Structures are given as structure tokens and as C-alpha cells.
Amino acid sequence: MIVECVPNFSEGRNVAVVDRIAAAVPAGLLLNRTSDLDHNRSVLTIVGPPDAVATAAFEAVRIAVECIDLRSHTGVHPRLGVADVVPFVPLSGATMEQCVGLAHDTGHRIWRELAVPVFFYESAALRSECARLENVRRTELDPDLGTGRHPTAGACVVGARKFLIAWNINLSTRDVGIARRIAHAIRESSGGLPAVKALGLNLEEQGLVQVSMNLVDFERTPMGVVFDMVQSLAHEAGVEIAGTELIGMLPQSALDGCGSRDMKWLNLGSDSVIGTGGIAKHFRANMLS
């Protein structure tokens, strides 16, 4: 039985802090690590047996709470806390119900031991208004556990969900309005592509703007379809795609669905692609390496 946890931390610039957070995860469980300067955010991909993954995720959150002060945090990505989101994903032999249990247990531990208020989202949500992460971020809801916010760590959003692809497309312009209009056009909540979430963000460090996306079901809307629509809308606005970035990992089948397109990858490597044998095979290979 194998599950995945993909905690997102509000630190992407201080390498020493990110190193400490990553070091809390046993090497055999940590499959991937990604940081972004403009987002000021880092994402870990933790894969393994349920109890081991939950323990590793909690220890990483504990270090983040010790090391990061949200009061001095700046970055373009929305966030509620230093350990912003902690989603559990069922993989080989695991069920969504089991991941919901892991999310609830971990959330209670975060509140009990770290005094950080917790929201539960997606399949672990206890309230319908918290099912979607964007609703938790933009509304003044009380946490499911605790009250208010931790003075330096904010709040933590813990959940259970299906596998998603976090993917960014950078545009060769400083006009963030273009990125926001494209994000509005492609995201499902605005009447765009099914199973696509998107934001338009400004990347000051790079002098670019970005369409930052979560593809929550790449089989319903393949990456190639999203790329083609973003490229078409960008061309209409007179700008080019400067490159695309993967955050975390993606299945080989999602990459195969891109066909012969030049996806203008900036950071795609063999360690970020889950092979055709599935993530269980990928995890076992990582444990043996």
C-alpha cells in the first residue's frame, strides 16, 4: 500500500531552511523537491507506506513551523501558512478513505503538538465550503481545528485528493493582465477547460508573467490541450511562451499525451516523470537506488 503526500511550504529562497525541511523526510521517501523564487514556495513529493508518509509529512511541517515566519514572507503565490497545504493522495493499493483518515490524523497532530490551526479540504473536508482550496483561501472561515491564526505560522490546510499536475507556463511579457486574462479563460470555474485551475502571476525576478495551473484530471483535459489554448491566447495578445515548469512530478502517460508538441520545458528531468510501471514501481526503484 503506497500513498503520496505533496506538502507545500512558504519558503523558496532560503536554501538552508528548505534543506532542513527536506531533511526531515527519510531519503527513501523523498522522491522530488522543487523550489521557486518568485513564488517563494517549495514542494516536496513524499511517497511510501501510509504511516511512514504521514510521519514524514508531520516532521517536515514541524521544521517549517520552527524556521519560517509568515510575517516576513513575500511571494506571488497565495498562502495561509508556512506549511500551506498538506494533501494526501492514494496510489498503489490505497483508497481515498484511507487518505482522508491520514489527513485527519495529521491535522489533529499539527494542531495538538504545534498549535497551528487546521482546515480540512477536498475529500477530507468537514464542511462543504472548504472542499475547494480556493474557497478556503479567499473567505474568512474559521479553522476546523483551533481558532484564528498562529502568530508566525498562520494556518495549515490538510486534505486528501486525487493525483494532480502542478504546472506553470511563463509568458515573455511584464504585463500581468495578459496572464490573468488567459488564466480566467482557461480555468473551469470561469467556464474554461474542465479540471483546470489557473492564476495569472507576476514573476519580478525573471521579468516575466506566469499562468500558474493545477490540472486536477489530466485525462479529462490533457496537457497538450491546455498548452495549445494558452499558446493561442498568448499569440492573440502578441506574446510568446517563454517556457513551462513542472512542480513536483507527473505520470509518463500525461507526458505521452503531449504528442510531438514542443512544450518548452525548463526543468523536466527523468526524476520528475513517473514511469509506465506506475508510481509504485518508481518508489521501489527509488528505495533501491
* Contact between 169 and 131 (Cβ < 8 Å): no
Point out the catalytic residue in the list 77, 104, 108, 184: 77
Residue 184 annotated among the catalytic residues of the structure: no
- The dihedral formed by the CA atoms of 167, 126, 129 and 11, expressed in degrees to the nearest 10: -40
User: DSSP string of the chain?
Assistant: --EEE--EES-SS-HHHHHHHHHTS-TTTEEEEEEETTTTEEEEEEEESHHHHHHHHHHHHHHHHHH--GGG---SS--SBSEEEEEEEE-TT--HHHHHHHHHHHHHHHHHHH---EEEEETT-SSGGGSSHHHHHHS-PPPSBSSS-BTTTB-EEEEE----EEEEEEES-S-HHHHHHHHHHHSGGGT-STTEEEEEEEETTTTEEEEEEEES-TTTS-HHHHHHHHHHHHHHTT--EEEEEEES-EEHHHHHTTTT----BSS--GGGEE-TT-HHHHHHHHHH-
Residues 6+ apart with CB under 8 A from 128: none
Q: Which residues are known catalytic residues?
A: 77
